[in-house]
Structures are given as C-alpha cells and as structure tokens.
Amino acid sequence: MKTLLPVLASMLVVCLAPMPYWYYELVRFAAMVAFGVMAYRYNKAENGNLMITFSALALLFQPFFKIALGRAIWNTVDIAVAILLIMIWMKERKKA
C-alpha cells in the first residue's frame, strides 16, 4: 500500500499526455481496483469519509460503463485525484 498511491498518481498524470487507448483503459481498470481496495481498507479503519470518497472514485473510474466527461474534464479529474492521492500518501507516511 505504501507505493500504490504514488504509482497510481503517476499513472493519472501520464494520462495528460497523448497515449494509446489501451493505456487509458489500463489506468481505468487499475484505478477501479486500487480505489476499491482503498475503500475497503478505510472502511475497516472506520474512516467513513475516505471510504465514501474512494468508493465514488472506483465507480467513476470503472471501465465497464464509461462515463463520458470529455478530455478536458477528465484531465482535471486526473490531476485532482493525483493531488489527493499524494496528499494522503504524505499524511500516512508521516504517521508511520
């Protein structure tokens, strides 16, 4: 879990560059799985706010029923989520 947050944040930032379609699909699938795991983890830790946040992100990034937001909005979402992941990673790193 220590490396999951910065790796996922990096993958989201790379989405800003023109990449092949399969990369975006890989990121969506990886993000869905990672956010699902994080939602479960925060649910067990009884942190309801982060559990709801990561559950919503898992639904947003899931690759099965795509949500068409347009490139500009997806880029904004990718950056916002990457910043959130880095902030949580830094906070958890300080605790340890």
pLDDT number for residue 68:
82
* 78 φ, ψ (degrees, to nearest 5): -60, -45
Q: Is the pLDDT of residue 93 over 70?
A: yes
pLDDT (0 to 100) of residue 1: 62
Phi, psi of 49 (to 5 degrees): -65, -50
- Kindly report, residue by residue over 27-85, the tens digit of the pLDDT: 999 999 999 999 999 899 888 888 999 999 999 988 888 888 888 899 999 999 999 99
Question: In which domain, by residue range, is 60 found?
Answer: 4-95
Query: For residue 12, is pLDDT > 80?
Result: yes
Q: What is the pLDDT of residue 2?
A: 75
The count of structural domains within the chain is: 1
pLDDT for the residue numbered 96: 66
Return all residues near 76 (Cβ < 8 A) that are at least 6 apart.
none
Q: Looking at residue 11, what is its pLDDT?
A: 93
